[in-house]
């Protein structure tokens, strides 16, 4: 099974900061990677698919990059609505796996 | 409006059974693979099971293989998860999720609101 490792697990940042979250796969997944945002008590929401494609309706301050085993999610200018937990997920093959999550907190 | 609505969660004793349902609306249900994903309280996301659009293929996480069965009724636009031999570690919020495109393995663009399953004596 493919393991997904996210870092950091927690990130403290201020409004306006540039934020980068990293996700590493235990083997190559090409570009079959998605990023989700989850707020407390809510279902996850898709932000990025195929490593760098922005889901419809998602603000352009979110961007994704990478291929193979190394991926990043970048928020160019953190907004108050962005304080949440972010998960990466591979969909190269079954079984699907998620990263452990990165909680973005207010500094 | 594209929507997924789960039901069937509740409190069950260890070793018991439960059947979750996920009613889909607002999209052509029969054209998309579907999955169940769970989340224990305060923990991360765990993919549980998936089913292809035409019900030909099913997939399971090792943690539930042999105990859970995923199925779908395209005529009723409903996804199911039959959960048997439940354990305390199956306690979680269970989400149904829609595959984004027409691939059989895909990112999830639509999620339900979740249904809580608690396994306890």
Statement: residue B60 has pLDDT above 80: yes
- Mean pLDDT for B74-101 is 97
Task: Dump pLDDT digits (tens) for B95-108.
Answer: 999 999 878 899 99
Q: To the nearest whole angstrom, how far is the Cα of A7 from the nearest Cα of chain B?
A: 14
Statement: residue B55 has pLDDT above 80: no
A32 touches B at CB < 8 Å = yes
Inter-chain residue contact B45 with A49, CB threshold 8 Å = no
Statement: residue B7 has pLDDT above 90: yes
Inter-chain residue contact B44 with A97, CB threshold 8 Å = no
- Mean pLDDT for A63-82 is 97
Inter-chain residue contact A94 with B50, CB threshold 8 Å = yes
Report the distance separating Cα B58 and Cα B65, nearest Å: 11
Task: Dump pLDDT digits (tens) for B12-24.
Answer: 999 999 999 999 9
Q: State the SS3 of A32-88.
A: CEEEEEECCCCCCEEEEECCCEECCCCCCCEEEEEECCEEEEEECCCCHHHCCEEEE
Statement: residue B80 has pLDDT above 80: yes
- Contact present, A60 and A54 (Cβ < 8 Å): yes
What is the band of B64 on the pLDDT scale with cuts at 50, 70, 90?
very high
Report the distance separating Cα B48 and Cα B66, nearest Å: 12
Provide the CB-side half-sphere exposure for A53 (13 A, CA). 11
- Mean pLDDT for A40-51 is 97
- Contact present, B36 and B94 (Cβ < 8 Å): yes
* pLDDT of amino acid A66: 98
Inter-chain residue contact A49 with B100, CB threshold 8 Å = yes
Report the distance separating Cα B22 and Cα B5, nearest Å: 5
Residues of A in contact with B106 (CB under 8 A): 49, 91
- Name the residue among A32, A46, A98 with its Cβ closest to that of B47: A98
- Mean pLDDT for A22-46 is 97
């Amino acid at each position: 099974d493919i393991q997904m490792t996210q870092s950091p697990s927690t990130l403290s940042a201020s409004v306006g900061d540039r934020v980068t979250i990293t996700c590493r796969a235990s083997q190559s997944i090409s570009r079959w990677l998605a990023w989700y945002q989850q707020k407390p008590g809510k279902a996850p929401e898709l932000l990025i698919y195929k490593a760098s494609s922005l889901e419809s309706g998602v603000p352009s301050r979110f961007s994704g990059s990478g291929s193979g085993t190394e991926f990043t999610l970048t928020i160019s200018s953190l907004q108050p609505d962005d304080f949440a937990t972010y998960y990466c997920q591979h969909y190269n093959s079954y079984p699907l796996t998620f990263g452990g999550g990165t909680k973005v907190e207010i500094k | 409006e594209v929507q997924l609505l789960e039901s069937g969660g509740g409190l069950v004793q260890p070793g018991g059974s439960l059947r979750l349902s996920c009613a889909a609306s607002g999209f052509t249900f029969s054209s998309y693979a579907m999955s169940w994903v769970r989340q224990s309280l305060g923990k991360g996301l765990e993919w549980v099971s998936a089913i292809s659009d035409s019900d030909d293929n099913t997939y399971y996480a090792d943690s539930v293989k042999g105990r859970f069965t995923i199925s779908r009724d395209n005529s009723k636009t409903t996804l199911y998860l039959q959960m048997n031999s439940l354990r305390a570690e199956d306690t979680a919020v269970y989400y149904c999720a829609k595959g984004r495109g027409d691939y059989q393995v895909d990112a999830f663009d639509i999620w339900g609101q979740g249904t809580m399953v608690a396994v306890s004596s």
